[in-house]
Amino acid sequence: MPFVITDPCIGTKDTACVDVCPVDCIHPRKDEPEFEAMTILYIHPEECIDCGACVPACPVAAIYDSHDSTPSTQKDLIPANDIYRNGDADTMAKAEAIVKAHIEAHPDLMAIDPKERAAAHS
């Protein structure tokens, strides 16, 4: 079961997770041209080896270790992680549309500082 990046990454995007991932399955990296345009980073569900290294590296607790452990308010972001393929304009647009819809649906969470947002996940 792949790991999932959720909404504390919005407004953070510091890529600490990328630096520790042993299989380079988190994108876009800072050195990829897609980085500036993307709202959050995404974990490739088939490339993730469930090692767990990214979870403690994330300064805002944005990463959950499975679909089941992803809180209900964040489950809409599971398909965004699943669909995103770095460099593929169609899947990138679809993933970003899911994230934008999440932002619109959760003004309450977006009003919270990213460092405190995970604590408000339910």
Contacts with ligand SF4, residue ranges (CB under 6 A): 3, 5, 9, 12-17, 20-21, 23, 25-26, 41, 43, 48-54, 57-58, 60, 62-63
Residue 6: name the closest of 87, 82, 68, 99 by CA: 99
CB of 44 to ligand SF4, least distance (A): 8
* E strand intervals along the chain: 4-5, 26-27, 42-43, 63-64
Task: Yes or no: say if 71 and 43 are a contact pair by the CB < 8 Å rule.
Answer: no
Of 35 and 94, nearer to ligand SF4 (C-beta) is 35
Task: Yes or no: say if 50 and 65 are a contact pair by the CB < 8 Å rule.
Answer: yes
CB of 78 to ligand SF4, least distance (A): 14
Of 62 and 80, nearer to ligand SF4 (C-beta) is 62
CB of 10 to ligand SF4, least distance (A): 8
